[in-house]
Structure 1
Amino acid sequence: MDLLKADLPDLPGLPDLFEKLRPLLSAEAAAETAGTGVDAADLEQAVWVRLLEHRRIPAEPADWLRRAVRGEARRARRRARREVPYDRPSVQGAGTRTSTGTEPEDALLHGEENRALRSAVARLPGRCPELMRALLSPRDLTYREIAGELGISQGSLGPVRSRCLGCLRRMLAVEVAAPALRGMER
């Protein structure tokens, strides 16, 4: 605060006002930023800057400070909602990632993953390859359509799918280094 006092505009009583309002500002900023992802220290700093830009001491400093904190918090939350990180792929809707196609490494890895998955699906036993190909189909078939294509009842589709996914999981666990165990494993 000593550095700040040296750079203050020549307003009588301003340093005392800073000392008097500091606890109130800290409490108000902490209350406004709880659970919003906005840093309370950043909010405090923005309010101090706003006070210095105001160029006069407000008639009711505590009321002014509360209004300033709420206004700066609204601005910070709006800014946080609009921010889009540049180093990540964009996200659309409910977790669907969109590919910009600008990274050749990503396209290559995605293609290799698809080939590895399709190769493992082809090695599955019984009716599993047919079922998994239908589930992975870009046509986005319903259970009724898949059951009709495979000639099995719609009710047995879920248990067969579960067994096939278990086989696929075990096959891929042998081929790919398994991640650390999380939760229950079958």
Structure 2
Amino acid sequence: MTHDLLTALGPLLAAEASAEAYASGSEPGDLEQAVWVRLLERMEAGGPPPDPQGWLRRAVRLEARRTRRTVRRELPYGIEPADDHERTPEHLALAASRRRALRDAVRRLPGRCPRLLEALLSPRDLTYREIAGELAISQGSLGPERSRCLGCLRRLLTSEVAAREARG
């Protein structure tokens, strides 16, 4: 039953994700993968939804809205806080500290995120094909997986930065 349901929902999910992706500022594959994860979590917790097609349409729109909110809240730095091009000892120490903090946070991520992000951050500059082979996952799932892992990393780092701010 589960396999039949997932097979039947595939084309609908692809169409819905394609329709919503542009407006949300994301890739259709990222939306699809997020909805598949939500559906599998739902099925594991309480079985399939009573109206799978309706649930799927609502889930795609929910994920698209979530992505739009995230994109609106995240603002790029105007300039890098401590530029590596400035070779003063203070700037080099700050840059090294940021790299250490990033690597420490990556190691605390769940699942295969640490291995994936370490491969992406590798000085060997691996291609997606090489990373997929190294991690034994399909090349097509690297983008959505990377997106999920970066979201986890962003939440982890945001909570740490917020916790360290001066109060009062």
The TM-score by the shorter chain falls in which range?
A: 0.3 to 0.5
TM-score by length of 1: 0.42
User: Max radius of gyration: which structure?
Assistant: 1
Larger RCO: Structure 1 or Structure 2 (Cα < 8 Å, ≥ 6 residues apart)? 2
